[in-house]
């Protein structure tokens, strides 16, 4: 994920996500992360923003959503969703690694279907560890990786430990 995908590829991927989300609503996946009203959530690699509306329902007006992606089209799409739905608690971040957020600022970080594509996965995991609160959760899924690879990639650095495996996601607890 060192460089954004070409615009056409990104738009085709976004269209495919609409079909996917019809058959598997994003709320079903997010419920495994234990997100509650008032939480601050980072959607790392937010893509076209398919999680933004269900996240807004979960965190409520008192919560905050940070949507980060390297692709400017992703940021534009999330901004359009937030504007159209009048979501005032959504902040977009265009970046390939650093979030610009303060230490211990996020309750839950979503890392969904992106780790396999990152140029610096360890740097991203370190950044997520930094911004997560002491009891913060890293909610993870990546259909490109097998379970043993997922658990070892996220726990070998000593930053996270497996908390629980859900039907579609793995939740990791931030290690101190």
Per the CB < 8 A criterion, the answer to whether 137 and 152 are in contact is no
Could you tell me where the DSSP H helices lie in 24-162? 26-30, 52-59, 72-84, 121-131, 147-155
Q: Give pLDDT tens digits for 145-163.
A: 888 889 999 999 999 999 9
Q: Give pLDDT tens digits for 88-119.
A: 999 999 998 899 999 999 999 999 988 888 88
Sheet of strand 106-112: strand arrangement: 90-94, 64-69, 40-44, 106-112, 132-141, 170-174, 160-165
Q: Tell whether 87 is covered by a domain.
A: yes
Q: Tell whether 140 is covered by a domain.
A: yes
Domain count, the chain: 1
Q: Tell whether 160 is covered by a domain.
A: yes
Q: Tell whether 1 is covered by a domain.
A: no
Q: Tell whether 2 is covered by a domain.
A: no
Global pTM reads 0.88
* Structural domain harbouring 148: 7-174
Per the CB < 8 A criterion, the answer to whether 50 and 25 are in contact is no
């Amino acid at each position: 994920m060192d460089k954004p995908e070409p615009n056409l590829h990104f738009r085709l991927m976004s269209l495919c996500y609409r079909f996917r989300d019809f058959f598997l609503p994003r709320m079903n996946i997010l419920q495994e992360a234990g997100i509650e009203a008032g939480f601050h959530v980072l959607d790392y690699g937010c893509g076209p923003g398919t999680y933004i509306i269900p996240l807004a329902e979960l965190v409520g007006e008192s919560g905050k959503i940070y949507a980060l992606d390297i692709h400017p089209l992703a940021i534009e799409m999330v901004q359009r969703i937030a504007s159209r739905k009048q979501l005032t608690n959504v902040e977009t971040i265009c970046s390939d690694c650093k979030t610009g957020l303060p230490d211990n600022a996020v309750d839950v970080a979503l890392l969904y279907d992106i780790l396999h594509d990152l140029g610096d996965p360890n740097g991203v995991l370190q950044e997520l560890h930094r911004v997560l609160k002491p009891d913060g959760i890293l909610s993870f899924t990546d259909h490109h990786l097998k379970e043993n690879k997922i658990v070892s990639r996220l726990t070998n650095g000593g930053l996270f430990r497996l908390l629980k495996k859900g039907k579609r996601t793995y939740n990791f607890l931030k290690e101190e």
